[in-house]
Structure 1
Amino acid sequence: MGEPEFHCTERRMMWPPLKAVATGVLALALSGCVTSTLSVDGRATQPIPASLRGEMSKRSMSQSSPVLVRIFKQESELELWKRDASGKFALLKTYPICRWSGKLGPKTRSGDRQAPEGFYHVDARMLNPLSSYYLSFDLGYPNRLEAAMGYTGDALMVHGACSSSGCYAMTDDGVAEIYAVVREALKGGQGSFQVQAYPFRMTPGNMAKYRNDPNFAFWTDLKRGYDIFEVTRRQPKVSYCGGRYVFDQEFAGGQPQDPLTTCPPASSNLSPAIASRSQSDLETMETLVSSGSALSAHAYVDGGMHPSFRTILQSSGESRLAKRTSRTSVPVSRPAAALSDPHLPKE
């Protein structure tokens, strides 16, 4: 018996301020993003959980301070970062991803089931308080670079449940926490928050493992932004040229704006600490390859699932996992493929 096909993509809509949701619910109920009258149950206005507020207080973070999100496919994890009193970002919490679809690599066309990889910016209009998947926010795929390169697809989300067709499914409880934190940051004055979506943690070991992948040059570009954040704990400034990402002040003439024009000459003003980090990682990667210590790459059948959810799926079955991850028991997408996820332990 075939599985029911649930797609995670939703109609992209520009949502009103939350205080206007209740008065606009009748009109919104006519859209494909609303499931029932429960859409006004207050899910989008839930406060940040007390335990998470306590962690913020311990780490000198406020509810309204800026946020940043990092996503890692291979590890099936989403990191939620917040700016603390030092002015730098610090890790607040890591969430297990219940389901993502496709393989390692960027999304390039509608229907390829690929969850996006790249740098995205999410503003308040991209929050969906009436999602069919409990709550969600649109990543903004395709971004300017992807659109210029002719990539297609839309409404790629971070949302609830454990079903994906190009999205990152966080469970209803997981997305409720994430939604509350990013909502408060946007209400507090952050114009948009950055989402950095990676195929894996950009360690020398992982880079060595995937050195022969067709996406390696693309991943090397992503790693430059990754390194900037790792070293400085500040959000990298993202721009585009030559069909690739560029970051911060990489060019003497300022940041380029046209995604496809030739990149100007590189600047020599990059931080020595960032350059040192990148060079050190490159040397370690080359040592791993030359010594034969690099692990072999693995292919995904259709996306992945965090080991914590795989354990439930293996021991209790897909219906039990659906009940644990969705308040309306949305089916788990392609459970057999999720169980074949070649997830390896963290390095």
Structure 2
Amino acid sequence: MFAKLARTGFMISVLAVAGCNEKSVADFVPQGANKQLPEKILAEMRSKGMNREAPIVGRIFKEENVVEVWKQKTNGRYDIIATYPICRYSGKLGPKYTEGDRQAPEGFYTVRPGQMNPKSGYHLSFNIGYPNAYDRANGRTGSNLMVHGACSSSGCYSMNDPQIEEIYAFARDAFKGGQTEFQIQAYPFRMTAANMARYRNDPNYEFWKMLKVGYDNFEITKVPPKVDVCEKRYVFNQVAPDGQKFNPTGACPTSTTPDPLKVAYANYQKNYDAAFASAMNGSTPAPKASIAGIKEAKLVSDWTKRRARGERITIDPPSMNHDGSVTENTTRMGRIDSPAGRKMAALEAEQAAKKKAEEEKRAAILAAKAEKERAKAEALAAKEAAKNKASEPAETLTAQVQPAPEVPVEDEGRLSKMKKKLLGMFGG
């Protein structure tokens, strides 16, 4: 049923066999990027009816941490040939919004020979083509988003070196066979009914529903979908009337879907709806964290700029919860080890030393003032004590020298008479 559709889809999916139109294979495959695919993979290709230089398509699933390589068979349809674990990807589930938000992109991207970089600082790499027409139409920014080696990421999909060598070899052989560009489909997770039910309350759900149409088209046909953008949204396998084009920011033209695909998609959707309804009532794993839209993207972008300037900030970027609250791990602080970071550290150390010197100067002035006040108070106290001591002897003398009490005249006469009497009695 899909043999003709596969051939037609292959032709309209911009994966047609033709000469490289940007750089020759030799231009982007110097020595060091010529590792050959292992015999085990070559044997599996032969068993699946694949030519070594047949076209490829890549699929990325964040939640499952895998990159899949699919290769075209002689009947025009694609089959999976290799799966690689992602060593690390940056950010959370959800699309990339802005430069510096550290989000690995989600969507449909195109890789051409000129995007291959065998001299990458990350061993080997290829740029996935972000921003694409959809991203630009929606004002999304960013650059140099790659799949690369070295297991280190700040917005990319990073693999171990042996893995990127094999993925690179798949692309090299396909370009050598005449494929002009291959498609990368980047998803948050496998877009099954169970997973869509799990994430039905996520703020990115509508975006993911849009990606799911392209996912479903590939699942049905096993041919990379023709991807266009109009009205700022993706559309898949749509055929516009002659002379009409898809304008990413303009109205979508009146388009049609090939009849075999239309019928197959209707049946697929019927089964999906039943599975989705069943999954709504089932017990499923808790959803993983996802980006809370442009607000969180700007928050992380600001953190990235401060980090690049060498400021001392939280080791991990801030995270915005879906209720609008922000989570920051302030117990882990640091700065990037770079010329900017070292310059900022030296500047802050100089400012800290200057501040400390000023504080010490102020403290010394205050201490000197306090000492002066203390000395003044002691001088006043001593003066008062001396004054008190000088007045103390005069008061004592006055107390000791008292006038003799006067004897009344009447008492004095009585005493004289008594004295004479006594003298007479004793012959005095």
Shorter-chain TM-score category? 0.7 to 0.9
Structure 1: gaps spanning 5 or more residues: 1-13, 23-39, 302-332, 338-347
2:76 alignment partner, SS class: coil
- Distance change in 2, residues 1:20/1:73 (3 Å): closer
Equivalent residue, structure 2, for 1:47:
36
Equivalent residue, structure 2, for 1:297:
287
Q: Does 1:209 align with 2:216?
A: no
Equivalent residue, structure 2, for 1:19:
26
1:83 and 1:16 map into 2 onto residues whose CA distance is 23
1:81 alignment partner, SS class: strand
Q: Which amino acid aligns with 1:124?
A: P
- Distance change in 2, residues 1:300/1:98 (3 Å): farther
Q: Which has the higher contact order (CA 8 A, sep 6+)?
A: 1
Q: CA deviation at 1:18?
A: 5.0
1:158 alignment partner, SS class: strand
1:15 and 1:164 map into 2 onto residues whose CA distance is 27
Q: Which amino acid aligns with 1:212?
A: N
Identify, as 1 or 2, the structure richer in helix: 2
178, 195, 205: which one aligns with 1:189: 178
1:201 and 1:75 map into 2 onto residues whose CA distance is 8
Equivalent residue, structure 2, for 1:319:
none
1:294 and 1:252 map into 2 onto residues whose CA distance is 44
115, 119, 140: which one aligns with 1:130: 119
Q: CA deviation at 1:278?
A: 2.3
Equivalent residue, structure 1, for 2:61:
72
Q: Does 1:167 align with 2:156?
A: yes
Q: CA deviation at 1:116?
A: 0.5
Q: Does 1:98 align with 2:105?
A: no
Q: Which amino acid aligns with 1:282?
A: D
Instruction: Report the number of matched residues.
Output: 272
2:244 and 2:77 map into 1 onto residues whose CA distance is 23
Q: Does 1:282 align with 2:289?
A: no
8 Å CA contact 2:54, 2:174 repeated in 1: yes
- Distance change in 2, residues 1:95/1:67 (3 Å): same
Q: Which amino acid aligns with 2:136?
A: A
Q: Give the 5 Å matches for 1:1-347.
A: 17-20=24-27, 42-249=31-238, 256-265=245-254, 267=256, 269=259, 270-289=261-280, 291=281, 293-299=283-289
Q: Can you list the C-alpha shifts for 1:150-197, whole angstroms capped at 9, x where unaligned?
A: 111111001112111111111100000010111110111111001000
Q: CA RMSD in A?
A: 2.6
1:239 and 1:134 map into 2 onto residues whose CA distance is 33
8 Å CA contact 2:95, 2:106 repeated in 1: yes
8 Å CA contact 1:15, 1:127 repeated in 2: no
1:132 alignment partner, SS class: coil
- Distance change in 2, residues 1:215/1:21 (3 Å): closer
8 Å CA contact 1:79, 1:91 repeated in 2: yes
Equivalent residue, structure 2, for 1:308:
none
- Distance change in 2, residues 1:242/1:20 (3 Å): closer
Q: CA deviation at 1:43?
A: 2.1
What percent of counterpart residues are identical? 47
2:275 and 2:123 map into 1 onto residues whose CA distance is 43
Q: Which has the larger radius of gyration?
A: 2
Q: Can you list the C-alpha shifts for 1:296-339, whole angstroms capped at 9, x where unaligned?
A: 322169xxxxxxxxxxxxxxxxxxxxxxxxxxxxxxx98xx9xx
Q: Can you list the C-alpha shifts for 1:226-256, whole angstroms capped at 9, x where unaligned?
A: 1111111111000011211100027678975
1:261 and 1:147 map into 2 onto residues whose CA distance is 13
Q: CA deviation at 1:51?
A: 2.1
1:252 and 1:274 map into 2 onto residues whose CA distance is 22
8 Å CA contact 1:208, 1:295 repeated in 2: no
Q: Which amino acid aligns with 1:296?
A: A
Structure 1's consecutive aligned runs of 4 or more residues displaced over 4 angstroms after TM superposition are: 250-256
